[in-house]
Structure 1
Amino acid sequence: MFEIYWPAAFALLPLPWLLRWLLPAAGRPASALHISFMRRLHQLEPAAGPQARRGTRWPWLLIWLLLVCAVSRPQLLGAPLAPSISGRDMMIAVDLSASMEIRDMQLQDQPLDRLGLVKHWLGAFIERRRGDRLGLILFGSKAYVQAPLTYDLDSVAQWLNESFIGLTGRDTAIGDAIGLGIKRLIQQPASSRVLLLITDGANTAGEIAPIQAAQLAAEQGIRIFTIGVGADSQQHEGLLGLLNGEVDPSIDLDETTLREVAEITGGTYFRARDSASLEAIYAQLDELEPSLRAGRPSHESIPLYPWPLGAAWLLSLGMAVQQARRQLHVA
C-alpha cells in the first residue's frame, strides 16, 4: 500500500512564488560602458522572446516539485510487524480451599459457589490483559504454580477453568501462596512485579505467616492486591419459614490480615460480596495496573524518497552541463 508519511510537506509548493512576490526585485548593475547605438539595439526584437524565457522555467519548477515530493517521504507499506511486548508481569493466586464451594454468590440471578464466580470474572480479567505476562498459583493446604509467567493467556484461562475445590488441599495457606509468588516475581523488573491474591478465608496452613511474607514482598518491590470473597450476613430461615437470626457466610474471612498485607506492599484490598462488586474490582485493577494498550500497528516500509530526490539531482546536473556547454560555445 502506498503512503505519504508527511503530506504537510506539499504546503511548501508555493514557497518560490511567495518569495518572488515578497522580496524586492534584484537591481541591475550600472553600465560601465556607454554605446551610442544602444537605444537602437533595445528596439530590436530579442532572439529569445517571452515564450523562450518561460520555457527555461519549467526545469526549475520540476526540480522544486521533485524535492517537495522527496521531503514528504513517500513509502510502500508491506506486511505488519509484530508489536513489541512490554507489559506487566502479574502472578494470580487463587484459593481452592473447602470454603470456596459455599454457594452464597449469584450470576445472572442463579446461585453459584464462590470459585465458580471467581473463575467467570477472572477469565474476563485475563482476556483484557493482552500484552502482559500472567502466571497462575493455586493454593489450599499447599501452594503450587499451575502456570508460570507467560504471554499465552488462553492457556492460563484454561488451567484456571480446570481447577477444582480440594485440588491443593482443603485448608488455606495464604502465606505460602505469597511466598511462591515472590519466588516467581523476584527476577522480573521491579516496576512490573504484581501479585493478585484471591481468598475467602484466613491463613490456616503453611510454613510462613501472611504478614511475614508481605514484608518480604515489600523488600523486593512486589505489590500485592488482595481480594476477599464472601457475601454479607443473611437472614436464615428456620422451621415453618420463620426467621432464625442472621448467618454470616464470611465469618472466616480475615479481612484485617488481607488489608494489612496490601498496605505493607503498597497494594489495595478489595471486598467481593457479589457479582457486581467483583466486576467493579477488576475494573479498578485495570486502572491501577494497566496492561499494554495497542497503538498504531506498524508495518514494514520501503522508502521511495530516493527516486524523486535522484531525479531532481540528475535534472540539476543536466542543466548545469548544458549551461557549461553554452558558455564554452559563447567563448
Structure 2
Amino acid sequence: MVEFVWWWAFFLLPLPLLVWLLPGKAQQQDAALHVPAVLPGQTEHSTVAARSVTLPVLLSLIWLLLITAAARPQWLGEPVSVPNEGREMMLAVDLSGSMKIDDMTLNGDRVNRLTMTKSVLHDFIKRRLSDRLGLILFADTAYLQAPLTFDRQTVAQLLDEAVIGLVGEQTAIGDAIGLAVKRFDDKKKTNKVVILLTDGQNTAGNITPAQAKELAVENDVTVYTIGVGADSMVVQSFFGSRQVNPSQELDEDMLTDIANSTGGKYFRARDVSELEQIYSRLDELEPIEADGQKLRPLTALFFYPLAAALIVSFLLVAVAIIKPRLSLNSVTAGAQH
C-alpha cells in the first residue's frame, strides 16, 4: 500500500488560490494575459482565452505534483519476519575419493555417498529459515565455497555443483573445522555451529583434529559430526561376490571426541533414512528461532511526482519561449505580404 509520511502537506494545496484572491491580483493577472501578437486565423480574444485556461491548469498541476512529492509518498511492502536471535551454521562436506563409493540407496537406485548427502542436506538447508548458512568443502585441504549468508538457495546450488576430487583425494578434517571456526563473526552474539560430514579419517591438512578441537572450544563453537557410510556391501571380484565393510576407515573415536568436547554430538549415517533422522535431530538440538518481529520494507516514491513536476515545468517554459517567436514570425510574414 501507499502512504504519505507528511500527509499534512496537502493542506498547502489551496495556498495559490488564496494568493490569487488577494486584492489587486486579478487586475494584474488580466494585464499579464494581454498578448498583442495574434496568430493568423485567430482573434486576440480567443488567444487570451486559451491561455487563461491552459496556464492555470498547468500551474495547478505542477503545484499538485510538488505538494505530493513534499508529502513523502512511500510504498509499504509485505511484512518480513526478523528473528530475535541469530544462528550461524557452517556445513563442512567431505569431497575425498571415498565419497564416490556407491553403498547408498536413494529412491531405489544405488548412489554414492555424496549424491545421497546432497539429496538429504537440501531439505535441511530449506528448513533453516532464521540461520546464516555457510558451506565448506574439503579433501586434501579445505576451502570456503559459500560464506555465511541468509541466501539458502545459493548455498544449496553451490552444494549441488560440488564434485568428488575437486580438491584432491584425501581427508583434511582438522583444516575443515579450523576454517569454519575462523569464518564466524566474533562481533555477533550468535550460536556458532559446525556440522561436519565425512566418511573417513584425517589423512591430510595443516591442522590436526586435536588442534581444531581446541580452537573450536576456545571460540565457543559447537561441532556436530556425522559419519557416513554403510557397514557392509557386496562387491564382485575374480573369485565371485563377497561382503566387505566399506566404512572400516571411518574414525568414529576421533569424531566422537570432537563432538563431545565442543558440546555437540556424533551421529552415524548408514543409509538415507538414518541421515534424514540425524538432520531432524539436529533441528531439535539447534532449533530454528521463532519469528521475533515483523518489519515492512519501505520504498520511497517522492521522486516520481517530483520528476513529473519538472517535466511539466520544462514543457511550460519551452512553450512560453517558442510560441511567441512563432507568433511574431507569422505576423511579420503577413505584414510583408
Q: TM-score, normalised by structure 2?
A: 0.62
Percent sequence identity over aligned pairs: 51
> What RMSD, in angstroms, separates the aligned Cα atoms of the two structures?
2.2
After superposition, the Cα gap between the structure-2 partners of 1:108 and 1:140, relative to the gap in structure 1 and judged at 3 Å, is same
After superposition, the Cα gap between the structure-2 partners of 1:209 and 1:286, relative to the gap in structure 1 and judged at 3 Å, is same
Q: Distance in 1 between matches of 2:282 and 2:162?
A: 23
- Contact kept, 8 Å, 1:95 with 1:139, in 2: the verdict is yes
1:186 CA displacement? 5.0
3-state SS of 1:90 partner: strand
| 1:17-40 CA distance string (max 9 Å, x none) | xxxxxxxxxxxxxxxxxxxxxxxx
| 1:79-127 CA distance string (max 9 Å, x none) | 5432224331001000001000000000111101000000001111000
Which residue of the partner structure matches residue 81 of structure 1?
79
After superposition, the Cα gap between the structure-2 partners of 1:273 and 1:131, relative to the gap in structure 1 and judged at 3 Å, is same
Which residue of the partner structure matches residue 287 of structure 2?
290
Which residue of the partner structure matches residue 273 of structure 1?
270
Which residue of the partner structure matches residue 204 of structure 2?
205
The one-letter amino acid paired with 2:285 is: L
1:234 CA displacement? 3.3
3-state SS of 1:84 partner: strand
Which residue of the partner structure matches residue 256 of structure 2?
259
Q: Distance in 2 between matches of 1:123 and 1:235?
A: 29
The one-letter amino acid paired with 1:132 is: D
The one-letter amino acid paired with 2:82 is: S
- Contact kept, 8 Å, 2:82 with 2:291, in 1: the verdict is no
| 1:56-101 CA distance string (max 9 Å, x none) | xxxxxxxxxxxxxxxxxxxxxx754322243310010000010000
Which residue of the partner structure matches residue 165 of structure 2?
166
After superposition, the Cα gap between the structure-2 partners of 1:193 and 1:107, relative to the gap in structure 1 and judged at 3 Å, is same
Q: Distance in 1 between matches of 2:294 and 2:149?
A: 23
Q: TM-score, normalised by structure 1?
A: 0.63
Q: Distance in 1 between matches of 2:175 and 2:107?
A: 34
1:225 CA displacement? 0.3
Q: Distance in 1 between matches of 2:81 and 2:186?
A: 24
Q: Which moved more, 1:100-109 or 1:81-90?
A: 81-90
Within 5 A, what are the aligned runs for 1:299-310? none
| 1:125-166 CA distance string (max 9 Å, x none) | 000001110000010101000000000010000000001001
3-state SS of 1:226 partner: strand
The one-letter amino acid paired with 2:186 is: Q
Q: Distance in 2 between matches of 1:299 and 1:158?
A: 28
3-state SS of 1:148 partner: strand
Q: Distance in 1 between matches of 2:138 and 2:103?
A: 21
Which residue of the partner structure matches residue 42 of structure 1?
none
Q: Distance in 1 between matches of 2:260 and 2:269?
A: 18
Which residue of the partner structure matches residue 7 of structure 2?
none
- Contact kept, 8 Å, 2:90 with 2:195, in 1: the verdict is yes
- Contact kept, 8 Å, 1:97 with 1:139, in 2: the verdict is yes
3-state SS of 1:141 partner: coil
Q: What are structure 2's unaligned runs of at least 5 residues? A: 2-75, 298-337
The one-letter amino acid paired with 1:94 is: V
> Is structure 2 residue 123 aligned with structure 1 residue 124?
yes
Q: What are structure 1's unaligned runs of at least 5 residues? A: 2-77, 301-331
The one-letter amino acid paired with 1:212 is: Q
After superposition, the Cα gap between the structure-2 partners of 1:266 and 1:84, relative to the gap in structure 1 and judged at 3 Å, is same
1:290 CA displacement? 1.2
| 1:210-232 CA distance string (max 9 Å, x none) | 12211110111000000000001
Which residue of the partner structure matches residue 134 of structure 1?
133
> Is structure 2 residue 79 aligned with structure 1 residue 101?
no
1:170 CA displacement? 1.1
Q: Distance in 1 between matches of 2:238 and 2:98?
A: 25
